[in-house]
Amino acid sequence: MLLHTLYLVGIVAEAMTAALAAGRRSMDWVGVALLGCVTALGGGSARDVLLGNYPLAWVKHPEYLAFTAGAALLTILIARVMHHLRWAFLVLDAVGLVAFTIIGCDVGLRMGVPVPIAIVAGMITGCVGGVLRDVLCNDVPLLFRAELYASVSVLTGALYLGGLHLGLAHDLVMAIAMTFGMTLRILAIWRKWNMPKFIYERDLH
Amino acid sequence: MLLHTLYLVGIVAEAMTAALAAGRRSMDWVGVALLGCVTALGGGSARDVLLGNYPLAWVKHPEYLAFTAGAALLTILIARVMHHLRWAFLVLDAVGLVAFTIIGCDVGLRMGVPVPIAIVAGMITGCVGGVLRDVLCNDVPLLFRAELYASVSVLTGALYLGGLHLGLAHDLVMAIAMTFGMTLRILAIWRKWNMPKFIYERDLH
Amino acid sequence: MLLHTLYLVGIVAEAMTAALAAGRRSMDWVGVALLGCVTALGGGSARDVLLGNYPLAWVKHPEYLAFTAGAALLTILIARVMHHLRWAFLVLDAVGLVAFTIIGCDVGLRMGVPVPIAIVAGMITGCVGGVLRDVLCNDVPLLFRAELYASVSVLTGALYLGGLHLGLAHDLVMAIAMTFGMTLRILAIWRKWNMPKFIYERDLH
């Protein structure tokens, strides 16, 4: 129940970042709504298509599409004040990342995949939406370049599945994993933590 | 039967626009053929993968691939005169858009998805091919930036499903929806109708 | 068995080219590992999703992900000497292309698709990983622009399926098809064979 609420927070946060990215590319209102839906629901859709888990969430619950498109369009109205909300926004985005990750792990477990793949399912749920957003905006995905995002997702998923494996109470494990993931994500943004970069300039051909 | 013919018109028109886009990126003949296939058949494939509707159309009918690749390669020969055919071409493209949309709605209905998702299935069928084309050409998809394209598809699908819901004869509803969609699409190009744009220049991070 | 070994050679070679591409975009270590996995396993995954062949290889064998990510990360260490290994590397890449192609054809046959679609399944297996790599690096895919790559894959698949159709021994057919494909690929690079290009500069709209 709580997880479902946090999921809704997450899709709203993802739809709103997508709307701002759409605005930076001067997309029209249709583009804003579409990019919001693809970004917010694309991670879960990619997971379900890769695992063969039908029907997809938004096919069963068309209201998610309306909700997401609505959040994206609303962003147009409040864009002017969004930078004042920067920190609130990054927190909501972190909530979304960890909620998506845990939901993805749960789907993986329910489908009986090996544990490492359940962690990957969590990471795909948390991260692929942003990759699709960046590809559609003609950017190299941020996920591949900077910030601890995929790593936060993987560590959160590993902690969650590890806790369940140890037989701890489900709600406790979830609370610990989410707190850990959100703290790590927010610290990483605040302290500007980054993974080392690989720079290569030759052309092999 | 008529719808099937219009579908073939649509995949030819999509393959030919894709071939011209390939030419603008100086692709080779293989690239022209591949981009033609992805553009013409990508919308229906995306719909079927998202809905879990197997086997895909071109898997059952490999001749669609030959047909599409052939249309793309033929475009290389007639590229020199294509701009004289501009309006004929835009009409064929509009035919394709509405035919794809109605076929997509039908697939959705047949799979028993909720009505709004049947409309979305129509839109995915009509629009995703062009998005894949633009992504593979390293452009921000036109669908997100300009023209009434997704909106024409959604309105056509809604009119079609609304008419069926009212219990009108199937062929009549199809004729009305297609005429409406094509008229709207052609008017939109002719009168340069566009959705309002959202322009945002700050960086949230 | 041999084919499985060549498959592993292929995913290592693809992961390593992906790592160098990631380095050219200054991606971080997470990006290098992710791009390696997507490139090496993306072709087979695309084939399986399009054919509805579940579960995907890496879902059943999570060690493929570790293996691929490991090869990509190892490339960071040996990047400095990679250009000395250029030809070894192109040979391994050719091995991967033909092995992927034949595995893809086999999957198609096993699923009972029409013969032309089995060839397409081979081509998707061999080529889509590199397309995903280029899209994520914000390039127009090399596959569409230059080199004999898709064509080598299609000819290899056609030769393989043709040989099986003639009732020749499986291992013999495989050896012939692989030798042919690798020779053609390496000749094409060495002699800089290219398909003719289609260049079109007008804007239809």
**A140/C136 touch (CB, cutoff 8 Å), yes or no:** yes
pLDDT attached to residue A205? 55
pLDDT attached to residue A126? 96
Q: Is C30 on the interface with A (CB under 8 A)?
A: yes
pLDDT attached to residue A85? 84
**A198/C17 touch (CB, cutoff 8 Å), yes or no:** no
Chain B nearest-CA distance from A88, in A, is 12
Q: Which of C51, C48, C50, C70 is nearest to C59 (CA)?
A: C48
Q: Is C28 on the interface with B (CB under 8 A)?
A: no
Residues B34 and B116 sit within 8 Å (Cβ to Cβ): no
B144, B148, B161: best to mutate for the A interface, most A CBs within 10 A: B144
Q: Is C49 on the interface with A (CB under 8 A)?
A: yes
Chain A nearest-CA distance from C170, in A, is 31
pLDDT of residue A159 exceeding 90, the answer is yes
Q: Is B24 on the interface with C (CB under 8 A)?
A: yes
**A117/C62 touch (CB, cutoff 8 Å), yes or no:** yes
**B89/C204 touch (CB, cutoff 8 Å), yes or no:** yes
Angle, helices B29-51 vs A29-51, to 10°: value is 80
Chain C nearest-CA distance from B61, in A, is 9
Task: Give the integer Cα–Cα distance in Å for B91 and A170.
Answer: 58
Q: Which of B120, B127, B116, B101 is nearest to B162 (CA)?
A: B116
CA distances B153 to A18, A180, B102, C25, Å, are: 22, 44, 9, 37
Q: Is A198 on the interface with C (CB under 8 A)?
A: yes
Q: Is C40 on the interface with A (CB under 8 A)?
A: no
**B146/A25 touch (CB, cutoff 8 Å), yes or no:** no
Task: Tell me the percentage of chain B whose pLDDT exceeds 70.
Answer: 99
Residues in chain B: 205
ipTM of the complex: 0.94
Residues 6+ apart with CB under 8 A from B114: A59, A62
The two three-digit tokens of residue A106, written as one number: 């749960």
pLDDT attached to residue C21? 93
pLDDT of residue B85 exceeding 90, the answer is no
Q: Which chains touch B (3 or more CB pairs under 8 A)?
A: A, C
pLDDT (average), residues A123-136: 97
Find the residue in A nearest to C26 (Cα).
A199
pLDDT (average), residues C40-45: 98
The two three-digit tokens of residue B103, written as one number: 């076929």
Chain B nearest-CA distance from C77, in A, is 31
Task: Give the integer Cα–Cα distance in Å for B109 and C109.
Answer: 31
pLDDT of residue C205 exceeding 60, the answer is no
Q: Is A201 on the interface with C (CB under 8 A)?
A: yes
Comparing A58 with B79, the larger pLDDT belongs to A58
pLDDT (average), residues C155-177: 96
- How far is C-alpha B110 from the geometric centre of its chain's CA atoms? 20
**B153 residue type, one letter:** S
Q: Which of B153, B161, B156, B157 is nearest to B129 (CA)?
A: B153
pLDDT attached to residue B204? 60
The two three-digit tokens of residue C90, written as one number: 């192109």
pLDDT attached to residue A84? 85
Task: Give the integer Cα–Cα distance in Å for C64 and C68.
Answer: 6
Task: Give residue-wise pLDDT tens across range A160-188.
Answer: 999 999 999 999 999 999 999 999 999 99
The two three-digit tokens of residue C83, written as one number: 């250009």
Residues B144 and A25 sit within 8 Å (Cβ to Cβ): yes
CB < 8 Å to C84, chain A: none
Cβ-in-10-Å burial (0-12, 13-18, 19+) of B114 comes to middle
**B136/C144 touch (CB, cutoff 8 Å), yes or no:** yes
Strand partners, A28: B197
Residues A137 and B198 sit within 8 Å (Cβ to Cβ): no
Residues 6+ apart with CB under 8 A from B176: B159, B163
Chain B nearest-CA distance from A144, in A, is 17
Cβ-in-10-Å burial (0-12, 13-18, 19+) of A40 comes to buried
The two three-digit tokens of residue A117, written as one number: 């793949």
Q: Is B150 on the interface with A (CB under 8 A)?
A: yes
Residues A123 and A150 sit within 8 Å (Cβ to Cβ): yes
B200, B201, B205: best to mutate for the A interface, most A CBs within 10 A: B200
**DSSP-derived secondary structure for B59-103:** HH-THHHHHHHHHHHHHHHHGGGGGGGHHHHHHHHHHHHHHHHHH
Pick from C20, C31, C49: which is nearest to A145 by CB? C31
Q: Is C204 on the interface with B (CB under 8 A)?
A: yes
Task: Tell me the percentage of chain C whose pLDDT exceeds 90.
Answer: 86
Chain A nearest-CA distance from C136, in A, is 6
pLDDT of residue B205 exceeding 60, the answer is no
pLDDT band for position C201 (50/70/90)? confident
pLDDT band for position B201 (50/70/90)? confident
Q: Is B136 on the interface with C (CB under 8 A)?
A: yes
The two three-digit tokens of residue C191, written as one number: 């002699």
Chain B nearest-CA distance from A68, in A, is 14
Q: Compute how many other C-beta atoms are within 10 angstroms of the C-beta atom of residue A79.
A: 18
Q: Is B124 on the interface with A (CB under 8 A)?
A: no
Find the residue in B nearest to C151 (Cα).
B30
Q: Is A194 on the interface with C (CB under 8 A)?
A: yes
pLDDT band for position C16 (50/70/90)? very high
What's this model's pTM, rounded to 2 decimal places? 0.96
**DSSP-derived secondary structure for A39-94:** HHHHHHHHHHHHHT--S-HHHH-THHHHHHHHHHHHHHHHGGGGGGGHHHHHHHHH
pLDDT of residue C82 exceeding 90, the answer is no
Q: How high does pLDDT run on average in chain B?
A: 94
Task: Give the integer Cα–Cα distance in Å for C30 and C36.
Answer: 10
pLDDT of residue C73 exceeding 80, the answer is yes
Q: Is C54 on the interface with A (CB under 8 A)?
A: yes
Q: Is the dihedral of CA A27, A31, A37, A43 positive or negative?
A: negative
Whether residue C114 has a cis bond before it, omega within 30° of 0: no
CB < 8 Å to C120, chain B: 62, 65
CA gyration radius, chain B = 17
Find the residue in A nearest to B149 (Cα).
A30
Task: Give the integer Cα–Cα distance in Å for C182 and A89.
Answer: 52
Q: Tell me how far apart the terminal alpha carbons of chain B are, to the nearest angstrom.
A: 54
pLDDT of residue C87 exceeding 90, the answer is no
Q: Is C50 on the interface with A (CB under 8 A)?
A: no
Q: Is C30 on the interface with B (CB under 8 A)?
A: no
pLDDT attached to residue C12? 94
Strand partners, B197: A28
Residues 6+ apart with CB under 8 A from B112: none
Q: Count of B–C CB contacts within 8 Å?
A: 98
**A51/C55 touch (CB, cutoff 8 Å), yes or no:** yes
Task: Give residue-wise pLDDT tens across range C145-157.
Answer: 888 999 999 999 9
Q: How high does pLDDT run on average in chain C?
A: 94
Find the residue in B nearest to A76 (Cα).
B198
Q: Is C77 on the interface with A (CB under 8 A)?
A: no
